[in-house]
Amino acid sequence: MKRQSAIAAYVLLLIAPALAAAQGSEHPYRGQGYLFLGLGFATPHGPFQVGSGAPLLTSVGVGGEGFPYKGLGFGAEVNYASAGPYGLNDAWIGSADFSYHFGRHSKRGHIDPFLLSGFSVVGPAENGSRGLPAGNFGGGANWWLGEHTALRLEFRDHIVAHDPFCHNIASFRVGVTFR
């Protein structure tokens, strides 16, 4: 099942530029979507309980942002993170974010740096219990390779309230942004 999910994510990353290129360019855009793959870590004894060290995480996700005023954005995303080979420590992470894009109207070849912060919920994928509240922050850049397609590089850290301590789920992400 995990292998099928990974294959589906790779296929989506490959076809996203073709879908974005099919859009017309006569109107200025008011939003953008993105797909990503991530690699990161979680602090020990948090929601991902794998031994005593910081478990390595892989993730795949999708999100979108709308821009009501200049570079100010509001967005949401969902991602699936896995810390082990057997699916025992998998989790869904949902986020609602505020962002600011410093170069939102970037043309082909330009870079659009951004910062973001928001609220998240980290929920286990298997056992059906409720999610844990979290906050997130991060930043990155979109490198616009075409009029409607960009390479997205991002760092995101989720700070999870769990037991008496806070735990981090941090990841470096690579993806595709389309508008």
Give the pLDDT confidence score for residue 140 in this predicted structure.
97
Residue-range domains of the chain with CATH: 2-23+31-178 (2.40.160.20)
The pLDDT value given to residue 141: 96
Q: What is the pLDDT of residue 48?
A: 58
Q: Which two tokens stand for residue 1?
A: 């099942």
More confident residue, 147 or 49: 147
Helix (H) and strand (E) counts in the chain? 1, 8
Q: Which candidate, 97, 107, 105, places its Cα nearest to that of 154?
A: 97
Average pLDDT, the chain: 80
* The pLDDT of residue 41: 85
Instruction: Write down the pLDDT at residue 7.
Output: 60
0.75 surpassed by pTM? yes
**pLDDT tens readout for residues 16-37:** 555 554 444 444 678 999 999 9
Is residue 6 packed enough to be buried (19+ CB in 10 Å), middle (13-18) or exposed (0-12)? middle
What is each CA distance from 155 to 21, 29, 150, in whole angstroms?
Answer: 26, 25, 16
CB 155 within 8 A of CB 41: no
Q: How far apart are CA 64 and CA 79, in angstroms?
A: 12
